[in-house]
Amino acid sequence: MKKPLVIVSGALATKPGNGGNAWTRMSWARGFQRLGCEVFFIEQLPAATERGVYAASINFFQAVTVQFGLSQNAALLAGNEVLVGPPLTELVKRAKESALLFNVSGHITQPEIFSACRCKLYYDDDPGFTQFWHAQGADLRLTSHDFHFTIGENIGSPACPIPTSNIHWRHTRAPVVLTDWPVCAPKEFDRFTTIASWRGAFGRVTHAGKTYGLKCHEFRKLLELPRLVKTRFELGRQEGGNVLGFLDSLFEIALQIYPADKKDLIALLAYGWRVIEPQSVAHDCNSFRSYIQNSAAEFSPAQGIYVDTNSGWFSDRTVRYLASGRPALVQETGFSRHLKTGAGLLAFRNLEEAVEGAEKISRDYEFHCRAAREIAEEFFDADKIIRKLADEIGFGLP
């Protein structure tokens, strides 16, 4: 019996040196493979303006696809030009043979490939941004897809103000292939960590008279944390290469922060946060995984838009901490309506709850490590998530 072909499309080479982003794409590819599907990965870049402009992107794309066994089943385009992979005519042929296009954020738009796919699924991993932009008239090509899935699990419910615009948003979660992220034995508790961007890829969004913030706006509310808990925060910045500050504490965060946010960086250091270069800990899939698994636990605020809309968004990065048997203390976005919290996964709404959660994890660390893995197995196992999604759309897995 021939394996059904799934085309997974998303930004990979667009973010060279970003191991965490690569895992978000490859986990879906790996998940479909494990359930008996053939997977072909396609990425589309803007048309190149000059030769060599995409050298770093090509190298990163090839390294990741080779690592995940997709070297013969992957293509990188720049406009209509194929930079890596078979010619466009062959890609169109594969698209016609496909049973499903799993289109992350509507990434693939190349007309011949897109139109050749029989079943098109839009996967939204930026809940709030996607729906607000669509409601405001942005051309996100949502209506050209057959199915729409989002990791904003409260979208469409009275608890969430994000508009649906008459689109049936189905709910899913960021998957983790558990064998790719084995549980790690508890270590001596030494630090919370995370890997993040100070502002993220997008700007603030205003809708119906309300402006929704970014991660930096939530982080500023937590600046005092190192002074309230005997911890160490370590933040990394993508432009530098040196450690910018040290403190005898238990928290590390590898943070992308740009020179324009110099005032924020100064404030972070003044409150006792430690700043490092994220490229040194997460430049590829292996280093990203190693950094997480060598951490004791995660601490992280969320994007303001996820918090203020009660979207139910949950970080795929946090999923990998949990799978590794590493507890997570993360900002509430409404996810506690759907996930178990209080053991392994702790949610906070304000500075006081963040302090309390940090103390709980450090006091009974091994208990929270065991609970973290259990949460990953129950709620984020790629096998379970993809089977549920396939059942919803009538996609026959082998």
Instruction: Indicate whether 299 and 244 sit together in one domain.
Output: yes
Instruction: Indicate whether 200 and 135 sit together in one domain.
Output: no
pLDDT of residue 247: 40
Give the DSSP letter string of 137-177.
T----GGGSSEEEES-TTTTSTT-----TT--EEE----B-
Instruction: Indicate whether 281 and 136 sit together in one domain.
Output: no
Instruction: Identify whether 374 is part of a domain.
Output: yes
* CATH number reported for the structural domain that contains residue 285 in this entry: 3.40.50.2000
Instruction: Indicate whether 284 and 167 sit together in one domain.
Output: no
Instruction: Identify whether 157 is part of a domain.
Output: yes
Instruction: Identify whether 85 is part of a domain.
Output: yes
Say how many domains are in the chain: 2
Instruction: Indicate whether 170 and 198 sit together in one domain.
Output: no
Instruction: Identify whether 180 is part of a domain.
Output: no
Instruction: Identify whether 167 is part of a domain.
Output: yes
Instruction: Indicate whether 263 and 304 sit together in one domain.
Output: yes
pLDDT of residue 245: 42
pLDDT of residue 248: 52
Instruction: Indicate whether 205 and 171 sit together in one domain.
Output: no
Instruction: Identify whether 81 is part of a domain.
Output: yes
Instruction: Indicate whether 168 and 279 sit together in one domain.
Output: no
pLDDT of residue 175: 98
Query: Residue with structure tokens 């996964």?
Result: 345
List, in sequence order, every beta strand (DSSP E) within 46-194: 74-78, 81-84, 100-104, 120-124, 147-150, 169-171, 192-193
Instruction: Indicate whether 92 and 203 sit together in one domain.
Output: no
Instruction: Indicate whether 204 and 132 sit together in one domain.
Output: no
pLDDT of residue 236: 37
Instruction: Identify whether 48 is part of a domain.
Output: yes
Instruction: Indicate whether 386 and 368 sit together in one domain.
Output: no
Name the residue range of residue 272's domain: 192-379
CB 347 within 8 Å of CB 334: no
pLDDT of residue 17: 95
Q: ∠ CA 286-288-291 to the nearest 5 degrees?
A: 105
- Report the chain (398 residues): mean pLDDT per 10 consecutive residues: 95 96 98 98 90 91 98 96 97 98 97 97 98 95 97 97 97 98 91 89 92 95 86 37 46 84 89 82 96 95 97 98 98 98 98 95 95 98 98 96
Instruction: Indicate whether 364 and 228 sit together in one domain.
Output: yes
Instruction: Identify whether 213 is part of a domain.
Output: yes
* CATH number reported for the structural domain that contains residue 38 in this entry: 3.40.50.620
Both tokens of 161, joined, read: 């103000």
CB 104 within 8 Å of CB 25: yes
